[in-house]
Amino acid sequence: MQKIVECVPNFSEGQRPEVYDDIANAIRQVPGAHVLDVSADPDHNRSVITFVGNPDAVEEAAFQAIARAAKHIDLDEHEGEHPRLGATDVCPFVPVKNVTVDECVEIARRVGQRVGDELGIAVYLYGEAATRPDRKKLSAIRRGEYELWRDEVATVPERVPDYGPARPSRSGATVIGVRPFLIAYNIFLNTDDVAIANKIARAVRFTSGGLRHVQALGFLVEGQAQVSMNLTDFNKTPIHAVQEMVRREAARHGLTITKSELIGLAPQKAFLEAAKWYFQLDDMKDDQVLEIRLADATSDDYTPYPFLEATGAATPTPGGGSSAALAGALSASLSQMVANLTLGRKKYASVEAEIEGLLEQTTRLRHELTAAIGHDAAAFERLMSAWRDKKVSGEDKMLAIEEATRQAGLVPLTVARRSRDAAKLAVSMTAIGNANAVTDAAAAAVMARAAVQVAAMNVRINGIGLRDQDQAQAWNAELTTLETETERLAEQAVAMAADRGGF
């Protein structure tokens, strides 16, 4: 059952493409995270990146994006039309498919804690992840923007963050949470009079007596007055209702709409409902749209075609190293499955606390090993680039190759270490996990053994190319230990599974 989470972080930079493109690339480097859209507005000096993926990938990519933004963006130097509190201003998670709100809340809290602990950035939780009623709304947290927050965070108790230090930082604060689909939708008017745009915004937004799920402000963008809106629940306040109300309010001032603008992505259903309304297709069913019918027909296919096709292509990556990482991730996934099949069963109540701990560890390992699939391919590509670089020669070139070779060996070495750890967890799951899934737990140990063996081959071949043979020998010694230990663990798991009646 494929799980999909969407993340739509907003960054306080819309004027330097090299910055928001670098942030987007940090997301792309996380395997399983897919950047769908990058929207930047120079006037607002803000960019919005939309990406999706499995929960683990989205969680890691969100952290990497926040870390990268902190390196580039200084709020003391930032100016723009849009309200903002931090370099990564807001980072919402949205459940898309086979994921609950509660699962997204856990993602938001883990990312928040990591951002606070590792990056030293103040984090506030909002929306469904909020820990206090007064922080449910983003606008309440962002009151006074960065400048007031900077002055108050260390002295005003209400400003104490959920995670991270209560002190000023040039990265500002990041607001992380969970919300439904939000449609960022702007309407331009045939005037440069922002006062009229603000009057229309007041008429439309809920806080001034307008439509229930609409937030709106007036701005001047590219010489035109703009009604900038967030539609927080398009199911209850459809996009066409908002469009028509803005059109009527504009007509009251003798104005018309010149164009509308979608920022980022929006659910297909929002536009289907608008089409039905405008075309009066009252009896139209969603699955009459060809693409929807096709998606439904293929939704149960779990085969990882992209990876298999990429591996089989006439390119050196992904290769054995990435395949080792995949095997390790599968090992962790199998142990995770057994843990989930054990939790909540009365028969295993006595080991529930231990299983919960194992589940947390398998989830973390699966994520690390999944990320290594892409890291291994990237390390090999960097090594090839070092060899091919004609701009560098002599000792400088040899040093660059040496460093790239070292990195190309360290990635599979990490895979071997983590896969050995996965084998340990598999043995534990074989011992106490659901007896009906004991062969899956043993399979996890065998898969981990394969991962260690293949990763070890990749480390050794890179070690041969190192000038620093002391390092290569240290690698070989550690690999021998890892292989021996994992072999023993796999045999132990298989024997244990047989004893418990697995086969």
496: which 2 tokens? 């244990």
Instruction: Calculate the alpha carbon distances from 255 to 196, 215, 240, 337, 345 in Å.
Output: 9, 21, 19, 59, 65
pLDDT of amino acid 43:
84
Residue 502: the pLDDT is: 59
Helices 239-252 and 268-279: angle between axes, nearest 10 degrees: 60
Q: For residue 369, give the H/E element and its range.
A: helix 352-388
Identify whether the C-beta of residue 169 lies closer than 8 Å to the C-beta of residue 122. yes
301 catalytic residue (yes or no): no
Which strand (E) or helix (H) includes residue 51?
A: strand 46-53
- The tokens describing 409, both together, are 């060996």
Is 376 considered catalytic here?
yes
Instruction: Specify burial of residue 251 (Cβ count, 10 A radius: 0-12, 13-18, 19+).
Output: exposed
Question: From start to end of 98-131, where are the E strands?
Answer: 122-127
* Spatial CB neighbours of 458, under 8 Å, sequence gap ≥ 6: 320, 321, 324, 376, 409, 412
Cα–Cα dist 202/256, whole Å: 17
Rounded alpha-carbon distances, angstroms, from residue 341 to 20, 57, 160, 332, 355:
42, 23, 40, 14, 10
Q: Which residue in 477, 481, 411, 423 sits closest to 450, CA to CA?
A: 423
- Distance separating the N- and C-terminal Cα atoms of the chain: 27
Residue 426 · residue 448 · CB < 8 Å: yes
CA–CA–CA angle 367, 373, 376 (5° rounding): 125
The per-residue pLDDT for 295 is 75
Q: Which of 82, 233, 240, 253 is catalytic?
A: 82
Catalytic residue among 162, 376, 421, 440: 376
Axis crossing angle, helix 55-72 with helix 17-28, rounded to the nearest 10: 150
Q: What is the pLDDT along the chain (503 residues), one digit of tens a residue?
A: 678 999 999 999 999 999 999 999 999 988 788 999 998 988 889 999 999 999 988 999 999 999 999 999 999 898 887 889 999 999 999 998 889 999 999 999 999 999 999 999 999 999 999 999 999 999 899 999 999 999 999 999 999 999 999 999 999 999 999 998 889 999 999 999 999 999 999 999 999 999 999 999 999 998 999 999 999 999 999 999 999 999 999 999 999 999 999 987 788 889 999 999 999 999 999 889 888 888 777 667 778 888 899 899 999 989 999 999 999 999 999 999 999 999 999 999 999 999 999 999 998 899 889 888 988 988 998 999 999 998 889 999 999 999 999 999 999 999 999 999 999 999 999 999 999 999 999 999 999 999 999 999 999 999 999 999 999 999 999 999 999 999 999 999 999 999 987 56
- pLDDT of amino acid 307: 87
Exposed / middle / buried, residue 61 (Cβ in 10 Å: 0-12, 13-18, 19+)? buried
The predicted pLDDT at position 83 comes to: 86
